[in-house]
Amino acid sequence: MQEQDLAVIILAAGKGTRMQNSLAKVLIPVAGKPTLEFVLDAARTLNPSRTVVVVGHQADRVEEIFSNRGLEFVLQKEQRGTGHAAGQAEQALADFEGRIVVLCGDMPLIKAETLERLLQEHNDKNAKCTVLTLKSKAENDFGRIIRDEDGSFLKIVEHREATDKEKEVDEFNSGVYCFDKDLFFKALTSIDDDNIQKEYYLTDTLEYSVKIGCPVASVQTEDADEIIGINTPDDLKRVEQLLKNRPSPSE
Protein backbone atom coordinates (compact mmCIF):
# COMPACT_ATOMS: atom_id res chain seq x y z
CA MET A 1 0.00 0.00 0.00
CA GLN A 2 1.33 3.42 -0.94
CA GLU A 3 2.29 5.89 1.79
CA GLN A 4 0.24 8.88 0.67
CA ASP A 5 2.24 11.29 2.84
CA LEU A 6 5.62 10.12 1.52
CA ALA A 7 7.47 11.35 -1.55
CA VAL A 8 10.97 10.58 -2.76
CA ILE A 9 13.24 13.00 -4.61
CA ILE A 10 16.20 11.45 -6.41
CA LEU A 11 19.00 13.73 -7.60
CA ALA A 12 20.07 12.39 -10.99
CA ALA A 13 21.22 15.40 -13.01
CA GLY A 14 24.99 14.92 -12.82
CA LYS A 15 27.24 14.63 -15.82
CA GLY A 16 29.92 12.53 -14.13
CA THR A 17 32.89 14.24 -15.74
CA ARG A 18 35.44 12.10 -13.89
CA MET A 19 33.84 8.87 -15.07
CA GLN A 20 35.49 9.07 -18.52
CA ASN A 21 32.21 7.86 -19.99
CA SER A 22 29.86 9.58 -22.42
CA LEU A 23 26.79 8.40 -20.53
CA ALA A 24 25.08 10.44 -17.84
CA LYS A 25 26.38 9.23 -14.49
CA VAL A 26 23.12 7.58 -13.43
CA LEU A 27 22.97 5.59 -16.68
CA ILE A 28 26.42 4.04 -16.37
CA PRO A 29 25.93 0.28 -16.02
CA VAL A 30 26.71 -1.41 -12.72
CA ALA A 31 26.55 -5.21 -12.89
CA GLY A 32 24.51 -4.89 -16.07
CA LYS A 33 21.94 -2.34 -14.83
CA PRO A 34 21.93 1.47 -14.90
CA THR A 35 23.18 2.92 -11.62
CA LEU A 36 19.89 4.72 -11.03
CA GLU A 37 17.91 1.48 -11.18
CA PHE A 38 19.44 0.26 -7.92
CA VAL A 39 18.44 3.47 -6.13
CA LEU A 40 14.91 3.31 -7.54
CA ASP A 41 14.56 -0.28 -6.35
CA ALA A 42 15.61 0.69 -2.82
CA ALA A 43 13.27 3.68 -2.80
CA ARG A 44 10.34 1.59 -4.03
CA THR A 45 10.41 -0.52 -0.85
CA LEU A 46 9.24 2.58 1.05
CA ASN A 47 6.03 2.60 -1.04
CA PRO A 48 6.07 6.35 -1.70
CA SER A 49 3.06 7.90 -3.39
CA ARG A 50 5.33 10.13 -5.50
CA THR A 51 8.86 9.67 -6.84
CA VAL A 52 10.42 12.73 -8.48
CA VAL A 53 13.67 12.34 -10.38
CA VAL A 54 15.71 15.50 -11.00
CA VAL A 55 17.39 15.08 -14.38
CA GLY A 56 19.89 17.23 -16.24
CA HIS A 57 22.63 15.73 -18.37
CA GLN A 58 21.06 13.51 -21.07
CA ALA A 59 17.67 14.13 -19.49
CA ASP A 60 15.72 12.76 -22.46
CA ARG A 61 17.65 9.52 -22.37
CA VAL A 62 17.17 9.05 -18.63
CA GLU A 63 13.44 9.69 -18.98
CA GLU A 64 13.14 7.26 -21.88
CA ILE A 65 14.93 4.43 -20.09
CA PHE A 66 12.83 4.79 -16.94
CA SER A 67 9.56 5.81 -18.61
CA ASN A 68 7.68 2.70 -17.41
CA ARG A 69 8.26 3.14 -13.68
CA GLY A 70 5.62 5.72 -12.79
CA LEU A 71 8.18 8.42 -12.09
CA GLU A 72 7.89 12.20 -12.37
CA PHE A 73 10.83 13.99 -13.99
CA VAL A 74 11.89 17.58 -13.42
CA LEU A 75 14.74 19.31 -15.23
CA GLN A 76 17.72 21.08 -13.70
CA LYS A 77 18.81 23.19 -16.66
CA GLU A 78 21.97 24.51 -14.99
CA GLN A 79 24.20 22.59 -12.61
CA ARG A 80 24.23 24.93 -9.63
CA GLY A 81 24.60 22.47 -6.79
CA THR A 82 22.57 19.88 -4.92
CA GLY A 83 20.38 22.46 -3.20
CA HIS A 84 19.47 24.02 -6.53
CA ALA A 85 18.77 20.56 -7.97
CA ALA A 86 16.42 19.59 -5.15
CA GLY A 87 14.60 22.90 -5.48
CA GLN A 88 13.53 21.98 -9.00
CA ALA A 89 11.03 19.53 -7.49
CA GLU A 90 9.08 22.22 -5.64
CA GLN A 91 6.52 22.90 -8.34
CA ALA A 92 5.96 19.20 -9.01
CA LEU A 93 5.21 18.66 -5.31
CA ALA A 94 3.17 21.83 -4.81
CA ASP A 95 0.03 19.82 -4.00
CA PHE A 96 1.84 17.26 -1.83
CA GLU A 97 1.87 17.30 1.98
CA GLY A 98 4.03 15.04 4.13
CA ARG A 99 7.54 13.68 4.30
CA ILE A 100 10.19 13.79 1.61
CA VAL A 101 13.12 11.38 1.39
CA VAL A 102 16.03 12.76 -0.63
CA LEU A 103 18.44 10.33 -2.32
CA CYS A 104 21.41 10.53 -4.66
CA GLY A 105 21.00 8.70 -7.95
CA ASP A 106 24.61 7.49 -8.00
CA MET A 107 24.51 5.41 -4.76
CA PRO A 108 23.58 1.90 -5.95
CA LEU A 109 24.47 0.15 -2.69
CA ILE A 110 22.06 2.05 -0.46
CA LYS A 111 20.00 -0.52 1.47
CA ALA A 112 16.24 -0.53 1.68
CA GLU A 113 16.40 -1.41 5.37
CA THR A 114 18.58 1.64 6.04
CA LEU A 115 16.01 3.89 4.39
CA GLU A 116 13.31 2.25 6.47
CA ARG A 117 15.31 2.96 9.65
CA LEU A 118 15.69 6.59 8.58
CA LEU A 119 11.94 6.96 8.15
CA GLN A 120 11.23 5.17 11.43
CA GLU A 121 13.55 7.50 13.35
CA HIS A 122 11.99 10.52 11.66
CA ASN A 123 8.55 9.34 12.74
CA ASP A 124 9.54 8.23 16.25
CA LYS A 125 11.26 11.54 17.03
CA ASN A 126 8.49 13.55 15.37
CA ALA A 127 11.36 15.24 13.57
CA LYS A 128 11.21 17.85 10.84
CA CYS A 129 14.55 16.75 9.42
CA THR A 130 16.56 13.53 9.77
CA VAL A 131 19.93 12.68 8.23
CA LEU A 132 21.67 9.37 7.63
CA THR A 133 25.27 9.53 8.86
CA LEU A 134 28.28 7.24 8.70
CA LYS A 135 30.52 6.57 11.69
CA SER A 136 33.94 5.49 10.46
CA LYS A 137 37.63 5.91 11.26
CA ALA A 138 38.54 5.58 7.58
CA GLU A 139 39.60 8.68 5.69
CA ASN A 140 37.25 9.95 2.99
CA ASP A 141 36.08 13.16 1.40
CA PHE A 142 32.51 13.15 2.71
CA GLY A 143 31.10 16.16 4.52
CA ARG A 144 31.57 16.20 8.29
CA ILE A 145 28.73 16.12 10.82
CA ILE A 146 29.41 18.87 13.34
CA ARG A 147 27.77 18.55 16.76
CA ASP A 148 27.79 20.63 19.92
CA GLU A 149 29.16 19.50 23.28
CA ASP A 150 25.88 17.78 24.10
CA GLY A 151 25.96 15.80 20.85
CA SER A 152 23.18 17.75 19.18
CA PHE A 153 23.49 18.28 15.43
CA LEU A 154 24.72 21.73 14.39
CA LYS A 155 25.65 21.58 10.70
CA ILE A 156 27.41 19.73 7.89
CA VAL A 157 30.72 21.05 6.61
CA GLU A 158 31.79 19.96 3.13
CA HIS A 159 35.20 18.28 3.06
CA ARG A 160 36.84 20.93 0.89
CA GLU A 161 35.60 23.68 3.21
CA ALA A 162 36.44 21.93 6.48
CA THR A 163 39.19 23.13 8.81
CA ASP A 164 41.92 20.70 9.86
CA LYS A 165 40.09 20.21 13.18
CA GLU A 166 36.78 19.54 11.44
CA LYS A 167 38.48 16.99 9.20
CA GLU A 168 39.29 14.99 12.34
CA VAL A 169 35.57 14.36 12.89
CA ASP A 170 34.72 10.69 12.27
CA GLU A 171 31.00 11.11 11.54
CA PHE A 172 30.16 11.76 7.91
CA ASN A 173 27.25 12.88 5.79
CA SER A 174 25.67 10.30 3.49
CA GLY A 175 23.62 12.63 1.30
CA VAL A 176 20.42 10.84 2.38
CA TYR A 177 17.75 12.81 4.26
CA CYS A 178 14.14 12.88 5.33
CA PHE A 179 12.37 16.25 5.62
CA ASP A 180 8.91 17.50 6.26
CA LYS A 181 7.89 19.06 2.95
CA ASP A 182 7.11 22.57 4.19
CA LEU A 183 10.42 22.93 6.02
CA PHE A 184 12.35 21.47 3.10
CA PHE A 185 11.32 23.96 0.46
CA LYS A 186 11.40 26.87 2.90
CA ALA A 187 14.99 25.92 3.76
CA LEU A 188 15.95 25.59 0.09
CA THR A 189 14.84 29.15 -0.59
CA SER A 190 16.83 30.40 2.41
CA ILE A 191 20.32 29.10 1.50
CA ASP A 192 22.91 30.91 -0.61
CA ASP A 193 25.97 30.08 -2.73
CA ASP A 194 28.55 31.77 -0.49
CA ASN A 195 31.08 28.94 -0.63
CA ILE A 196 34.16 27.77 -2.52
CA GLN A 197 32.13 26.11 -5.26
CA LYS A 198 29.65 29.01 -5.60
CA GLU A 199 26.90 26.42 -5.49
CA TYR A 200 23.75 25.93 -3.46
CA TYR A 201 24.55 23.11 -1.04
CA LEU A 202 21.66 20.90 0.02
CA THR A 203 23.55 20.33 3.27
CA ASP A 204 23.01 23.99 4.25
CA THR A 205 19.29 23.28 4.68
CA LEU A 206 20.07 21.28 7.81
CA GLU A 207 21.95 24.15 9.44
CA TYR A 208 19.03 26.39 8.54
CA SER A 209 16.65 23.94 10.25
CA VAL A 210 18.65 24.11 13.47
CA LYS A 211 18.80 27.91 13.36
CA ILE A 212 15.01 28.24 13.18
CA GLY A 213 14.53 25.86 16.09
CA CYS A 214 13.94 22.54 14.32
CA PRO A 215 16.45 20.04 15.77
CA VAL A 216 17.91 17.60 13.26
CA ALA A 217 17.60 13.91 14.11
CA SER A 218 20.03 11.30 12.77
CA VAL A 219 20.40 7.62 12.02
CA GLN A 220 23.84 6.10 11.87
CA THR A 221 25.29 3.38 9.69
CA GLU A 222 28.73 1.83 10.06
CA ASP A 223 28.64 0.36 6.56
CA ALA A 224 30.64 2.81 4.44
CA ASP A 225 29.98 0.73 1.33
CA GLU A 226 26.29 1.55 1.09
CA ILE A 227 26.85 5.28 0.74
CA ILE A 228 29.52 5.10 -1.96
CA GLY A 229 28.72 7.46 -4.79
CA ILE A 230 30.05 6.46 -8.19
CA ASN A 231 32.23 9.39 -9.21
CA THR A 232 35.28 7.70 -10.77
CA PRO A 233 36.08 4.50 -12.69
CA ASP A 234 37.70 3.18 -9.50
CA ASP A 235 34.44 3.74 -7.62
CA LEU A 236 32.62 1.77 -10.30
CA LYS A 237 35.04 -1.16 -10.05
CA ARG A 238 34.71 -1.20 -6.27
CA VAL A 239 30.92 -1.15 -6.36
CA GLU A 240 30.76 -3.96 -8.92
CA GLN A 241 33.04 -6.08 -6.76
CA LEU A 242 30.94 -5.38 -3.67
CA LEU A 243 27.77 -6.32 -5.54
CA LYS A 244 29.31 -9.63 -6.55
CA ASN A 245 30.09 -10.36 -2.91
CA ARG A 246 26.73 -9.18 -1.55
CA PRO A 247 24.47 -12.09 -0.59
CA SER A 248 21.23 -12.36 -2.54
CA PRO A 249 17.97 -11.68 -0.64
CA SER A 250 17.21 -15.43 -0.58
CA GLU A 251 20.45 -16.34 1.17
Write out the catalytic residue numbers.
18
With contact defined as beta carbons under 8 Å apart, do 221 and 133 qualify?
A: yes
**What is d(CA 171, CA 153) in angstroms, rounded to the nearest whole number?**
11
**What is d(CA 6, CA 100) in angstroms, rounded to the nearest whole number?**
6
SS (H, E, C) the chain: CCEEEEEEEEEECCCCHHHCCCCCHHHCEECCEEHHHHHHHHHHCCCEEEEEEEEECEHHHHHHHCCCCCCEEEECCCCCCHHHHHHCCCCCCCCCCCEEEEEECCCCCCCHHHHHHHHHHHHHCCCCEEEEEEECCCCCCCCEEEECCCCCEEEEECHHHCCCCHHHCCEEEEEEEEEEHHHHHHHHCCCCCCCCCCCCCCCHHHHHHHHCCCCEEEEEECCHHHHCCCCCHHHHHHHHHHHHHCCCCCC
With contact defined as beta carbons under 8 Å apart, do 132 and 118 qualify?
A: yes
